[in-house]
Amino acid sequence: MKFDRKLIAGIFAAAAVTVSAAGHAASVEKVTGAGSSFAYPIISKWASAYKEETGIEVNYQSVGSGAGIKQIKAGNVDFGASDAPLTVEDLKDSGLTQWPLIMGGIVPVANVPGIKPGELAVDGETLAAILMGKITNWNDPAIAKLNPDADLPDLRITVVHRSDSSGTTAIFTNYLSKASDAWKSEVGEGKTVNWMSKGNLGGKGNEGVASYTGRIKGAIGYVEYAYALENKLTYMDMINRDGNRVAPTSDNFAAAAAGADWKGTPGFRVVLTNQPGENSWPITGSTFAMVHTDPKNPAQVKAVLDFFKWSMANGQPAAAELHYIPIPKSVAELIESSWEEKINLK
């Protein structure tokens, strides 16, 4: 994805805070990270602005959550990022700690001729049936019932999903398992699942799913909302847990996150899917950053923490621009306290 550097500078101009070189280890010029494609757009913006402020490069690779977890566990990068948080036991066994770095929404996207963004709505049961190959055409009665005013074509549905180990898939399938008993019993949830629909296609990263869905008529996929906007994809509204039709908006993502108990949840492992609330977007999730608690190179991890502390303090305008939900100040304070408690930088 390409981002306008002038736009980045403008977004941060009002909120920019000069970060002195004394706040960083003088020897650190570059930190590396890898993982979640869900969070790539915002980390990319933060990294560009941060380098302009401090001269420190943050090189983040969008390789998928599963690969990011493997790379941080192996010590190949300074931080990993995953939309599927590790268990408390896995964190302990791996010598890692994690925290939420951003929240956002995953949206179903479709390529249906004549249909514009937000013109179609889908509920969890119907979405699951489509992805399982039980609904195979766009003019199926189940879709038509939810969209009585839509001109649905007689067009075969092609399911596009992630081919890599994906936190986006983990969030998406967690929601489907809550919304559909059939999905829960026949497919389940995880970073990878067995896609049942015939003729389905796998794309690498949110980027790959967005590309396939945008090119193939009749396709349906799922991506983080920023990718839908950037690639001008036709996103769908959803029927949420309260039975209301909701659009993918920052306010509705925030509504789903409003009741999150970060303080009372070990490892910050809050699940935001299928939350109650009149306006809650049902497929909302977080991306979690991960570092070693007893790092071999403390200066590198200190530089990682400086970057994320800066992003929590200064990154809200950029997050809003891409329709993410920034970490609230109260949660940022909890996160910084957890760093002091769990990470040995001596």
Specify the amino acid at residue 18: T
Contact between 175 and 280 (Cβ < 8 Å):
no
- What are the backbone dihedrals phi and psi of residue 244, each rounded to the nearest 5 degrees, phi first? -100, 145
Contact between 343 and 301 (Cβ < 8 Å):
yes
Encode pLDDT of 264-317 as tens digits. Answer: 999 999 999 999 999 999 999 999 999 999 999 999 999 999 999 999 999 989
pLDDT in the model for residue 27: 78
- Mean pLDDT of all residues belonging to the chain: 92
pLDDT in the model for residue 330: 92
Domains 5-104+285-342 and 106-257 share a fold: yes
Q: 264-276: buried (b, 16+ CB within 10 Å) or exposed (e) per residue?
A: eeebbbbbbbbbe
Q: What are the boundaries of each domain within the chain?
A: 5-104+285-342, 106-257
Measured distance CA(55)–CA(174) in Å, rounded: 40
Measured distance CA(263)–CA(333) in Å, rounded: 10
What's the CATH fold of domain 106-257? D-Maltodextrin-Binding Protein; domain 2 (3.40.190)
In the three-class reduction of DSSP (H, G, I as helix; E, B as strand; rest coil), residue 309 is classed as helix
Encode pLDDT of 220-230 as tens digits. Answer: 999 999 999 99
List all residues 6 or more positions away from 283 whose beta carbon is below 8 Å from its beta carbon.
Answer: 105, 106, 107, 171, 172, 175, 222, 238, 273
pLDDT in the model for residue 274: 97
Contact between 281 and 253 (Cβ < 8 Å):
yes
From first to last of its 346 residues, what are the pLDDT tens digits of the chain?
A: 444 544 444 444 434 433 433 344 447 999 999 999 999 999 999 999 999 999 999 999 999 999 999 999 999 999 999 999 999 999 999 999 999 999 999 999 999 999 999 999 999 999 999 999 999 999 999 999 999 999 999 999 999 999 999 999 999 999 999 999 999 999 999 999 999 889 999 999 999 999 999 999 999 999 999 999 999 999 999 999 999 999 999 999 999 999 899 999 999 999 999 999 999 999 999 999 999 999 999 999 999 999 999 999 999 899 999 999 989 999 999 999 999 999 999 8
Helix (H) or strand (E) holding 33: strand 30-35
pLDDT in the model for residue 259: 84
Contact between 176 and 238 (Cβ < 8 Å):
no
Whole-prediction pTM: 0.88
Helix (H) or strand (E) holding 208: helix 205-215
**5-104+285-342: what CATH class?**
alpha beta
DSSP string, 65-78: HHHHHHHHHHTSSS
pLDDT in the model for residue 196: 86
